[in-house]
Structure 1
Amino acid sequence: MVTVHRNGLTLLGKDVARSDPPRWKVLLTVPSIIFIHGLRGHPQNTWGRGSDEGRDTERDPPPKPTSRLKTFFKRDKSRLRSDRSSPGPSSPQPRPFWPHEFMPHDIPEAMVWTYGYNSQVISGLFTPNNENSVFQHGRDLAGRFEREINNEAIRKSQVCRSRTKLIVFLGTPHRGSRAAGWGVTAAKVARLAYSPNIKLVEALDVNSLALDTIHEEFINIVHDSQLQIHSFQEGRPMSTIPGHVEKIVDDFSSRLGLPQAFEKVETLDADHKQMVKCTGREDDRYRTIRTVIQHFIHRPPVEASSAARITNTAASRSLEARAEIRRDDILSKISTTLFTNNGYNRVALVGLGGIGKSQIAIQFAFWVEENKPEVSVFWLSALSKASFEQSCREIMTQCDINQSSATDDATTVVQQYLSSKASGKWVLILDNVDDAQILGQPIHYFLPKSRDGLMLFTTRSQEIASDLALSEVIRIPEMSPVEAKGFLEKSLQKKDLIEDETATGALLQALTYLPLAITQAAAYINKNSASIAQYLDLLSQADENMVELLSSEFRDETRHPESANAVVASWLVSFNQISETDPIATRLLLFLAWIEPKAIPKSIFPEESEIELYRAIGILLGYGFLSQRKEEGIYDMHSLVHLVTRTWNSSRGGNQYTLREAMSQMIMVFPFINWETREVWRQYLPHALRALQNAATLDDEGSRLGDLAGKSLYQDKRGREAVEVLERVLQFRNEALAEDDLDRLSSQHVLACAYKDDGQIKEAIHLLEKVVFIKSNLLAEDSLNRLTSQLALAIAYRNNGQVKEAISLLEKVVSIRSNLAEDDPDRLASQHELACAYKDNGQVKEAITLLEKVVSIRSNLAEDHPDRLASQHTLACAYSDDGHMKEAVGLLEKVVSSQLNLAEDHPSRLASQHALACAYSDNGQIKEAVSLLEEVVSIESGLLSDDDPDRLVSQHALACAYSDNGQIKEAVSLLEKVVSIESGLLAVGHPDRLVSQHALARAYGDDGRIEDAIKLLEQVVSIRQITLPEGHPKRLASEGELKSLHQAYHQ
């Protein structure tokens, strides 16, 4: 029989009798199984009954004199022996030294050892009738443990750790009992060898902190070294101890409490002492222990660890389907924040529903799996209380966590587990934390606390994100076009569909690069074998189509089963959350649904207290429905959210926020329309136009808002758009109001002015004559309202070439307004228009005199005021007509410089540049004229229609400049185009048409086409001789040009 050393290692097996010591190089290449006994145990007797043959002085020290304590236990043991000798299942059985006799034969590929050590560390601890000794020895024991912990050679032996792969525990007390801590567990163990001391439990509890420290240190070693643990528990109580019917080491104490990935727990059908006493090879206890060791030896530990860790990663979240969204910049931010030593252990991802927060979290989970193998990943869904609790139950199952008591719920158990050292290092991902009260009270009450734990949250709410992660909040931006295109391509079954770049770009833009919307679109295209262009066409046909498509549910393996896959359904959850918690934010959201989603000024919002309004704005910003621009007080609303909000509003029945309410709000804040308030009404105008667009027909509120919008468009020189809006307003007012109603007449007046600016001169005159007639019978002669319409009619006459009628009416208006103050804006406007008419009528001197007076008075206005610039512009043109070219050029250059703050395509700026170019031409600066006019014509070609009067005038001027510059062919080509368009647009005798024909005739003459020139110019002269007086400059110019052509022809 082998001689077993009392201390140190002893090699077991059939060949151990040889004298040669084992070769250590061999030991490093084969598995070793080492049997280690417990306290007061023996390296041989613990595992079997032992024999005299095996006894030696090294193993068994001589017996000491028997004390009363030993006598007590001797009687006890004698009784136990007699009990065991009685018939029954507990009859004595052979106790072979099975680690030596069986194990080496059954696992020949391993070397088997037993290890002995001084296990008498508790001797003297339990001296009877000695209260102090138990306290003192307890302190000594704790002190010894602490000294061991601080011994670096033992605590951090890298060789020992690296070579240890599996530890099998047999009834080992790892932790104090659930009910009373370490003291109760130690007392039960002590009763096997000593009489109970009444102070035992209390004494050992005093030093439980030291034992807890040892336990935690071992847990850290298990995690760091990736050890595998197999803990066997007692299947029966120690019934042989009088009055004791419990297990010596209960189920709670006999397990480390590690995740299933690290620790397997199994029960042996034996009590504490018998679980290591195997009777033969067929003994169930032996077979079970042997199978565990064999299975481990034949299964590489690295694979087990990896597989276990993946199980942890998927603990309560199915991550088999990886998200295709790669947001590496965001992944880098998350990993850098959580895994660098900066003290932050929480990060929150916040963003609009469907923007890809959960998918980024999934990618991060896989990143941890691949880059941090020592870290477990747990996933909790906070979509609802049920999903949260279900996630916790799944974690308990995967990690083999038992409830502490029947009253503990899964949420509490998982919180406690993750707060303990047993859980090791982990990352907890809480997905969809959109309701902070989902569990009935603030969710942070349920979060674990651990220095080894990191947390990642996803939420739509900025407020929740800030509460959970403080400053470590990452707002998820929309994908870039390149990212979105790549994501769409991965989502499509037919990859070649992406080759239609135009349709692809348009679709992604329409879907605002939103991942969920892109996934939804791809699902529809895949299911219906559609092309991207076909889906885009469906999406673009009507808002209802888009809502229907965005409402379609589809299968997405990367999202939680309870999570809404359709974009619309996803956002409706957020809308409902807002409506339940904040009525002001709800009202603001619904108001925004009726207006333009971009560039929304805060001043247009429904009126609330400043604090309440800022809170409401903050909520919408937090959910990602609004975003703030760099400009103070300007916001944008996500365009798809804008669309879906209206759908949600329509589903609210009696709680709808109506379009009429939105219009009333805008009417209330809209300013008076003039140049001074232009910054405000220009901000409001797009929103008024969107509200009007949403109205199928106008009512009283709609007509009032339309009137404000139409006047704004007219003031902004957007005549065509103004006509469209004002015609709708007038349609309603013509039906709803009397003919002489002032609101109706006001709409007719403004529409006529818009017609004039849009080149519809005849329509303007027809409508204004009707308005002036009604007002002359309704209002006093000096009524501001009446005079304003007369002034507008005079301007229309002048634009239509009816200069005499214009002068007659204007002189009357100016005369009546002469009783107003000299600087009255209405008086100055009348004088300005009369001067323009004088100029058009060839009364240049009178025009200059009147304009110089007006310009002088208006010099008190801002330099860029449109009225001041208009008068300077007209005066400069009059100077040009009068031959004062230097004055004309100088004044026009000043006007053009002042208008540089206007948009490049603003009508006033283009008109001034046109006038300056003509002045350059008249002043002999032909190259400057050509350059400036080419710029004007180029801008207008992309802005105005072919038959727009302003565009035709500019082309005419450029053609004349070409002619003066010797570019005759270019001049003829352009003038022929102008004359052709004007012949179908203007009356035969229209002044503008005659001017263009005159210029073309002159260009024909310069080009040597004398007959064509004479024929065209004869038409011009014949008309001007009828419409203009004998001394009119234009009549004289045409007559002189024709005479010269005849002379050239006859020569």
Structure 2
Amino acid sequence: MVSDTPKMLRLTDVAVASKNLPRFSLLTSIILVHGLNPKSKDDEAHALNTWTENGRLWPKDDLPKRLPNARISLYVYDPSAVYGGSQATFADKANELLETIRCDREDWEGRPLILMGHSLGGILIEQALINARQNETYQHIYDATACLAFFGTPHEGGSGGMVTAGKTAANVALWLGFQKGDNIIETLDKGSMFTDIHKDHFRQQFESYRMVSFWGDKDTIVSRGSSKFGLAGGRERIVELKADHHGVAAFGHTTKDEGNLKKVTSNVKWLYDEALKLVMQKTHFIVPFEKNPRFTGRESELTQLEKMLFAEDQTTKVAVFGLGGVGKTSLVIELVHRIRKKHENCSVLWIPATNLESLHQAYLDVACQFSIRGWEEDSADVKRLVQEFLSRESAGQWLAVFDNADDINMWAGTPTEQGTKPLIDYLPRSKLGCIVFTTRDRKTAVKLAQKNVVGVLEMSEDVATIMLQKCLINPDLVNNKTDTSSLLNELIYLPLAIVQASAYINENRIPFSDYLSLLADREGDAIDLLSEEFEDDGRYQNVKNPVATTWLISFEQIRQRDPLAAEYLSFMACIDSKDIPQSLLPRGQSRKKEIGAIGTLDAYSFVTRRPVNGALDLHRLVHLSTRNWLNLRNEWDDRANAALHRVEDMFPRPKHENRALWMSYQIHAQCVLTSTKDREKESEEWYSLALRIGECCLNTEVLGKTHPETLATMGNLAVVLDRQGKYAEAETINRQTLKLTEEVLGKTHPETLATMNNLAAVLDSQGKYAEAETMNRQTLKLTEEVLGKTHPETLATMNNLANLLQNKKQYEEASILYVRAYTGYKSSLGSEHPTTKACVNNYSVMLDNIKEAN
């Protein structure tokens, strides 16, 4: 009589792998299921005795030595209740096994599973797998089960099908002490509970497993024919043991038992290895980039990332942020390739998040690779399908990279009218999953990953040198330590700039010194150099690679997201790039907005704050690229005028007591005067500011009389004196400035040429035409040679010489020079620019004079 008292169903661990294993190490579960108890035998005792002989519990004492990364458990249940009822009862009891397994695997549903059954316990396993396939609640158990082992299990009972199987099962019960007439004997003898197992679809279901069927040569209950499942090919191993029905699963210390145990553990090890292979077949590496052989350094960042990713028992989200071109994507490419090597069971998915189109295509690729149901349908929400799939632990371990997650509105915006959710709502959640974002914006990084953010800074000179050497066709170039150090300093140790520079150097076979001279040349030439396209296997094919263009995306994002930050960036482009006092920046609507704007530029790594005074430094290449951006948007003139107005308004009258303030502003005032020099004839602010700077720099003890900033200020002061009609003083200062600039900067330096042009203009104003003409012709010749025939300084000299010749009534040559100057101004500045119009006006006046003379 079967007891109606409910009994505890549970898994009892007999061996558990080390708890110190890394999170992504593959931990395989092995569950052993015993068969029918001997009559009146305790359930737990039988669960142990089934696999024990002479005190040797081999799943605990021997198997872990072969499988150190496995968790081995015994299923404890009341078999009389399982095998003594109807087929429906049998199916329900199989569900109880599934439920026990499900509850035990909540930490990771996708962990590979090997099921092993003795005698009728194997039948229970088969029924459980049939149920699991048909029940979504237990589908993950079916998916995770890779291998099976049967010890004396009567699969079919020979050719007699389920009737014979039933008789075999009844014989097992008789062997265990049950009597004919007992309910359990009669139930088993009918064989009706095996209906599901003997259906054809069940056999097809088992074609995907690897299986070992053990049988005993002295087993009088289950024959060899009954004990084998009959899978084709090499998917099933049939192993003969020298044992009876009990001894086929329990081994003592005799020579015979040792031989049996060796066969068993060896074959279970095969199943374990096959389980790992089957799991690996479900693992995908969807990354569009190969491992970069030029990758250098960043070991501390890689170590930090790996610790973050594999530390928590939940979906870990980490964000990598840094300046565009600093190597965020390269760092994560190296990371995923290392993970692939260390954690072969971990799928890696790479999703470009530059825009919704590229992201949607990447989700389609993931859905296709994982064969997610329904992804091909036109109406499918592929992002939701991928999210749901990866959120199930049956998907296994995975790492998803969202590269270039710069647009926070894509991620955390409000749902659209059509119901489209922000991307953050589509992120999968799984204890086995990790997500890495790369972004240029630290604020976005914090919103996406909270405290788990890793900043990527500029390289050290030593690491940058190694990277440069790896990129060069002629690595010996780095042996010139001085030029190498100068080049890397000019490139601000930025990986993208280093790769771009080395590509140009390789193509043109030039030394570092030539590249440095190009960078130091005219601003337009430097921009052209930094705009050179080049090939880089570590970047997307459809994305512009050059340094000068890679930041344009960031500039536009800042302009749309934080207008005050964009205004600050534009203002800083018009002044010097270093040591910018925050008090000099334009005022915002509130202090909060001002702090937020500086925070935005800091978050994009465009500025750094000095710890002592809080002054800001703008990266030199960012400074140059911002000026280029403003020119591309036709905003340079307006922004430069606004900067001039702000600096002129803030610059104090120089006094001893405010010396610290005007000294901190002085270099920026000088820079903004240079940026707006072509407006000097129409701007009172320009002259006012130049005069104040001149007053500061007359006290040469501040910087020294030969300092370039002192010389530039002296030149500006001379221009102011000229405009005020103080020609003699202007001539004196111009001659002093010219002498010093020739000595300090050289005769062909742009500042020297500008001073020559200014001196010629002063001489012209005093009627010293012969000397002025000589000076103008010398200046024009040099500017054409050094700066080019269309450079603004050349055109200004040309216009001044034409004006001089007009005063001397040498109209023919003056006319030629006016036309050349006008053509150059129109091409570079446009026909409506004030300087172009002034040139036209001068020419028109000359033509009127010619008419009057005739």
Normalization by structure 2: what TM-score? 0.55
Q: 1:316–1:394: 8 Å Cα contact kept in structure 2?
A: no
Q: 2:316–2:434: 8 Å Cα contact kept in structure 1?
A: yes
TM superposition shift of 1:532: 2.3
User: Is it true that 1:724 corresponds to 2:696 in the alignment?
Assistant: no
- Give, in whole Å, the separation in 2 of the partners of 1:674 and 1:175: 93
The secondary structure found in structure 1 opposite 2:307 is: helix
TM superposition shift of 1:738: 4.7
TM superposition shift of 1:150: 7.3
- Give, in whole Å, the separation in 1 of the partners of 2:696 and 2:206: 99
- Give, in whole Å, the separation in 2 of the partners of 1:373 and 1:643: 45
User: Is it true that 1:575 corresponds to 2:555 in the alignment?
Assistant: yes
Counterpart position of 1:642: 623
Q: Structure 1 residues 498, 575: closer, same or farther in 2, change over 3 A?
A: same
5+ residue gaps, structure 1:
1-35, 37-116, 128-133, 177-181, 187-207, 228-269, 279-285, 761-1051
Q: 1:587–1:657: 8 Å Cα contact kept in structure 2?
A: no
Aligned mate of 2:289, from 299, 304, 318: 318
Counterpart position of 1:737: 724
The secondary structure found in structure 1 opposite 2:410 is: coil
The secondary structure found in structure 2 opposite 1:377 is: strand
Aligned mate of 1:469, from 449, 453, 457: 449
Counterpart position of 2:689: 705
Counterpart position of 2:566: 586
AA at the equivalent of 2:516:
L
User: Is it true that 1:329 corresponds to 2:264 in the alignment?
Assistant: no
AA at the equivalent of 2:388:
Q
TM superposition shift of 1:395: 1.8
TM superposition shift of 1:506: 1.0
Deviation track 1:29-85 (CA, whole Å, cap 9, x = no partner) reads xxxxxxx9xxxxxxxxxxxxxxxxxxxxxxxxxxxxxxxxxxxxxxxxxxxxxxxxx
Counterpart position of 2:592: 611
AA at the equivalent of 2:654:
I
AA at the equivalent of 1:395:
V
Q: 2:283–2:346: 8 Å Cα contact kept in structure 1?
A: no
Counterpart position of 1:349: 320
AA at the equivalent of 2:307:
T
Q: 2:564–2:597: 8 Å Cα contact kept in structure 1?
A: yes
Counterpart position of 1:517: 497
Q: 2:608–2:618: 8 Å Cα contact kept in structure 1?
A: yes
User: Is it true that 1:528 corresponds to 2:508 in the alignment?
Assistant: yes
Counterpart position of 2:331: 360
TM superposition shift of 1:637: 0.7
Deviation track 1:179-221 (CA, whole Å, cap 9, x = no partner) reads xxx8x946xxxxxxxxxxxxxxxxxxxxx7xx44xx4456667
AA at the equivalent of 1:689:
Q
Q: Structure 1 residues 118, 610: closer, same or farther in 2, change over 3 A?
A: same
5+ residue gaps, structure 2:
1-31, 33-77, 150-198, 208-228, 238-266, 412-419, 744-854
- Give, in whole Å, the separation in 2 of the partners of 1:503 and 1:352: 25
TM superposition shift of 1:711: 2.1
Deviation track 1:596-620 (CA, whole Å, cap 9, x = no partner) reads 1111111000111212212211111
The secondary structure found in structure 2 opposite 1:684 is: helix
Q: Structure 1 residues 119, 581: closer, same or farther in 2, change over 3 A?
A: farther
Aligned mate of 2:369, from 395, 398, 409: 398
Counterpart position of 2:245: none
Counterpart position of 1:385: 356
Structure with the bigger RCO (C-alpha within 8 Å, sep 6+) is 2
AA at the equivalent of 2:497:
A
Greater Rg over alpha carbons, structure:
1
Aligned mate of 2:662, from 667, 678, 681: 681
Deviation track 1:855-884 (CA, whole Å, cap 9, x = no partner) reads xxxxxxxxxxxxxxxxxxxxxxxxxxxxxx
Q: 2:112–2:275: 8 Å Cα contact kept in structure 1?
A: no
Counterpart position of 1:669: 650
TM superposition shift of 1:382: 0.7
Deviation track 1:739-795 (CA, whole Å, cap 9, x = no partner) reads 5xxxx999999999999x99x9xxxxxxxxxxxxxxxxxxxxxxxxxxxxxxxxxxx
- Give, in whole Å, the separation in 1 of the partners of 2:517 and 2:670: 25
TM superposition shift of 1:727: 4.1
The secondary structure found in structure 1 opposite 2:402 is: strand
- Give, in whole Å, the separation in 1 of the partners of 2:112 and 2:307: 32
- Give, in whole Å, the separation in 2 of the partners of 1:521 and 1:430: 28
AA at the equivalent of 2:453:
V
TM superposition shift of 1:630: 0.7
**Equivalent residue runs for 1:147-296 within 5 Å:** 147=100, 161=114, 185=134, 211-212=137-138, 215-216=139-140, 272=201, 275=204, 290=233
Counterpart position of 2:60: none
- Give, in whole Å, the separation in 2 of the partners of 1:541 and 1:684: 26
The secondary structure found in structure 1 opposite 2:577 is: coil
Return 351-360 or 674-683, whichever deviates more. Answer: 674-683
- Give, in whole Å, the separation in 2 of the partners of 1:311 and 1:561: 29
- Give, in whole Å, the separation in 2 of the partners of 1:485 and 1:392: 39
User: Is it true that 1:631 corresponds to 2:612 in the alignment?
Assistant: yes
Aligned mate of 2:521, from 518, 522, 541: 541
- Give, in whole Å, the separation in 2 of the partners of 1:303 and 1:485: 47
Q: Structure 1 residues 287, 405: closer, same or farther in 2, change over 3 A?
A: farther
The share of aligned pairs that are identical, in percent, is 27
**Equivalent residue runs for 1:79-90 within 5 Å:** none
The secondary structure found in structure 2 opposite 1:359 is: helix
The secondary structure found in structure 1 opposite 2:551 is: helix
User: Is it true that 1:558 corresponds to 2:538 in the alignment?
Assistant: yes
Deviation track 1:920-958 (CA, whole Å, cap 9, x = no partner) reads xxxxxxxxxxxxxxxxxxxxxxxxxxxxxxxxxxxxxxx
Deviation track 1:71-130 (CA, whole Å, cap 9, x = no partner) reads xxxxxxxxxxxxxxxxxxxxxxxxxxxxxxxxxxxxxxxxxxxxxx99995996798xxx
Q: 2:294–2:467: 8 Å Cα contact kept in structure 1?
A: no
Counterpart position of 1:991: none
Q: 1:356–1:515: 8 Å Cα contact kept in structure 2?
A: yes
TM superposition shift of 1:403: 2.5
AA at the equivalent of 2:594:
L
Aligned mate of 2:675, from 671, 694, 699: 694
Q: 1:553–1:565: 8 Å Cα contact kept in structure 2?
A: yes
TM superposition shift of 1:163: 10
Cα RMSD of the aligned pairs, angstroms, is: 4.8
- Give, in whole Å, the separation in 2 of the partners of 1:504 and 1:226: 63
- Give, in whole Å, the separation in 2 of the partners of 1:733 and 1:347: 57
Q: Structure 1 residues 381, 139: closer, same or farther in 2, change over 3 A?
A: same
Q: 1:348–1:468: 8 Å Cα contact kept in structure 2?
A: yes
- Give, in whole Å, the separation in 1 of the partners of 2:202 and 2:92: 28
Deviation track 1:260-313 (CA, whole Å, cap 9, x = no partner) reads xxxxxxxxxx984795899xxxxxxx999648779xx9x999699689859956
The secondary structure found in structure 2 opposite 1:683 is: helix
User: Is it true that 1:504 corresponds to 2:480 in the alignment?
Assistant: no
- Give, in whole Å, the separation in 2 of the partners of 1:485 and 1:400: 45
- Give, in whole Å, the separation in 1 of the partners of 2:305 and 2:328: 12
Q: Structure 1 residues 431, 501: closer, same or farther in 2, change over 3 A?
A: same
The secondary structure found in structure 2 opposite 1:408 is: coil
Q: 2:577–2:618: 8 Å Cα contact kept in structure 1?
A: yes
- Give, in whole Å, the separation in 1 of the partners of 2:616 and 2:662: 16
- Give, in whole Å, the separation in 2 of the partners of 1:306 and 1:555: 38
Counterpart position of 1:419: 391
Q: Structure 1 residues 309, 716: closer, same or farther in 2, change over 3 A?
A: farther
Q: 1:325–1:360: 8 Å Cα contact kept in structure 2?
A: no
Counterpart position of 1:340: 311
AA at the equivalent of 1:561:
Q
**Equivalent residue runs for 1:863-1012 within 5 Å:** none
- Give, in whole Å, the separation in 1 of the partners of 2:686 and 2:348: 58
Deviation track 1:700-758 (CA, whole Å, cap 9, x = no partner) reads 3322222222222234623445763454334433453355xxxx999999999999x99
Q: 1:325–1:356: 8 Å Cα contact kept in structure 2?
A: no
The secondary structure found in structure 2 opposite 1:653 is: coil
AA at the equivalent of 2:347:
S
Q: 2:722–2:730: 8 Å Cα contact kept in structure 1?
A: no
Deviation track 1:682-709 (CA, whole Å, cap 9, x = no partner) reads 1111211222333444343322222222
Normalization by structure 1: what TM-score? 0.46
- Give, in whole Å, the separation in 1 of the partners of 2:313 and 2:522: 52
TM superposition shift of 1:468: 0.8
Deviation track 1:824-844 (CA, whole Å, cap 9, x = no partner) reads xxxxxxxxxxxxxxxxxxxxx
